[in-house]
A = this chain, B = another copy of it.
Amino acid sequence: MPRVALRGAMSAYEALVARVRRMTALRDAAEVLAWDQQVMMPTGGVEARAAQLAALSATMHEILVSPEFGRLLAEAEREERDEARRAVLRELRFFYDRETKVPGELVEAMSNAASRGYEAWVEAKAKSDYKAFRPHLERLLELKRKYASLVDPNVAPYEALFQDYEPWIPLADARRNLTELRAGLKPLVEKARARGAQRPAVLAGSWPAEKQEVVSKRVAELIGYDFTRGRLDRSPHPFSAGGAHDARITTRYYDHDPVPSILGTVHEAGHAMYMQGLPKEHMGTPLGDARDLVVHESQSRLWENHVGRSLPFWERVLPMLREAFDGAPRASAEEVWRAVNHVEPSFIRVDADELTYHMHIALRFELEEAMVAGKLSLDELPHRWNETMQRDLGITPPDDARGCLQDMHWSSGSFGYFPTYSLGSMLSAQLMDAYPGDPNDYPSLLQWLRDNVHRHGKRYKTGELIERATGSALTPHAFLRYANEKYARVWAA
Most central of A26, A51, A226, A227 by chain B CB within 10 Å? A51
Task: Tell me if A29 counts as interface (CB < 8 A to partner B).
Answer: yes
B residues near A230, Cβ cutoff 8 Å: 42, 44
| Least CB distance, A308 to chain B, in whole angstroms | 23
Could you tell me if A44 and B246 are in contact, using CB atoms closer than 8 angstroms? yes
B residues near A228, Cβ cutoff 8 Å: 42-44
Task: Tell me if A209 counts as interface (CB < 8 A to partner B).
Answer: no
Alpha-carbon distance A165/B244, docked complex (angstroms): 37
Which residues of A41-56 are within 8 A (CB) of B? 41-49, 51-52, 54-56
B residues near A488, Cβ cutoff 8 Å: none
Q: Contacts A25-B54, A44-B230, A47-B283 known; list 7 others, CB within 8 Å.
A: A28-B48, A32-B52, A44-B229, A44-B246, A47-B280, A48-B245, A48-B283
Could you tell me if B246 and A49 are in contact, using CB atoms closer than 8 angstroms? yes
B residues near A28, Cβ cutoff 8 Å: 48, 51-52
Alpha-carbon distance A231/B41, docked complex (angstroms): 8
Alpha-carbon distance A307/B244, docked complex (angstroms): 47
A30's closest neighbor in chain B, by CB?
A: B29
User: Which of these, B22, B36, B40, B243, contacts A48 with CB under 8 Å?
Assistant: B243
Which residues of A1-53 are within 8 A (CB) of B? 21-22, 25-26, 28-30, 32-33, 36, 40-49, 51-52
| Least CB distance, A417 to chain B, in whole angstroms | 27
Task: Tell me if A350 counts as interface (CB < 8 A to partner B).
Answer: no
- Residues of A at the B interface (CB closer than 8 Å) are 21-22, 25-26, 28-30, 32-33, 36, 40-49, 51-52, 54-56, 58-59, 226-231, 243-246, 248, 280, 283-284
B residues near A283, Cβ cutoff 8 Å: 47-48, 51
Could you tell me if B44 and A25 are in contact, using CB atoms closer than 8 angstroms? no
Could you tell me if B284 and A45 are in contact, using CB atoms closer than 8 angstroms? no
B residues near A22, Cβ cutoff 8 Å: 55, 58-59
Most central of A25, A226, A283 by chain B CB within 10 Å? A25
| Least CB distance, A54 to chain B, in whole angstroms | 7
User: Which of these, B41, B45, B59, B229, contacts A26 with CB under 8 Å?
Assistant: B59
| Least CB distance, A469 to chain B, in whole angstroms | 26
Alpha-carbon distance A21/B50, docked complex (angstroms): 13
With A32-B33, A228-B43, A229-B45 as contacts: A56 and B26 at CB distance below 8 Å = yes
Could you tell me if A52 and B26 are in contact, using CB atoms closer than 8 angstroms? yes
B residues near A41, Cβ cutoff 8 Å: 246
Q: Which 8 A-B pairs have the closest CB atoms?
A: A45-B246, A44-B229, A25-B55, A48-B245, A29-B52, A25-B51, A44-B228, A25-B52
| Least CB distance, A225 to chain B, in whole angstroms | 11
A228's closest neighbor in chain B, by CB?
A: B44
A246's closest neighbor in chain B, by CB?
A: B45
| Least CB distance, A392 to chain B, in whole angstroms | 43
B residues near A244, Cβ cutoff 8 Å: 48
Could you tell me if A44 and B243 are in contact, using CB atoms closer than 8 angstroms? no
User: Which of these, B29, B46, B245, B280, contacts A29 with CB under 8 Å?
Assistant: B29
Alpha-carbon distance A48/B48, docked complex (angstroms): 24
